[in-house]
Structure 1
Amino acid sequence: MVQIEKIWLTDTAVWIRTADGREAHENFDEYPRLKYATQTQRENYEPDAFGIHWPELDEDLSFEGFFSKRNETALYKLFIAHPELNASAVARRLGFAQSLLAQYISGTKKPSPERERLILSEIRKIGEELIAI
């Protein structure tokens, strides 16, 4: 697990510094919810042992993801292409921890093929429910 010493924001990114002195950042432009958020909304984050959560924006970044090569998985592409999808709500519907789904989306953890099918099936159900309205 990555031990974080400091988190700070610039106009374009969120930065972290680890206890061993490494620094990394994630650009807001890569996350539509953060990209279009106000500075006040961006500043309203909650760190935990695994990452950063923005409750108002329903966005999560895992600390490990700051140091990982971007792995554009199917889930990553889906959630980036459709920022209207609420990852926290999808995780709740599936009974998953929000941080686990965030790690699947970021590619820091790989879901089993069965679990990925389950996630995609739940997203399809959400689409069907919206169509029925």
Structure 2
Amino acid sequence: MFHHSIIPLFRRIALLLLLLTLAAPVGAQDSWRGQVEALVGTGGRTPGSPANLVLAAKVAERFAASGLEHGAIRFPTTVFVPGAGTLSLADGTTWPIRPMHATLARPGNFAETRFAATLVH
């Protein structure tokens, strides 16, 4: 069975949010819940999307306001460049390709090694 390590992380975060909500002073619970609901309500948070950037800015503001040591980790990663492209082989042959967003689809998940399909995003 496939086990993804992010699931236990989500459970831990949910438990932490629950405990923080229960431990907050009575008047602060509505404020805390409102903040959590506002963050959850930002919509899809695909990396680099407008909602993701808004959420990242809000989280950064919260850490800055906390007075705790905070910062950002910068690292290289794949970048989606929309549009057509070509794959050039060693013999000079070129093939048209249409790249998919690196974090939205994992072609390695397909059991088949060859198939024809139309992909619609």
Same fold (TM over 0.5): no
User: Bigger radius of gyration, 1 or 2?
Assistant: 2
So what's the TM-score if we normalise by structure 1? 0.25
So what's the TM-score if we normalise by structure 2? 0.27
Q: Which has the higher contact order (CA 8 A, sep 6+)?
A: 1
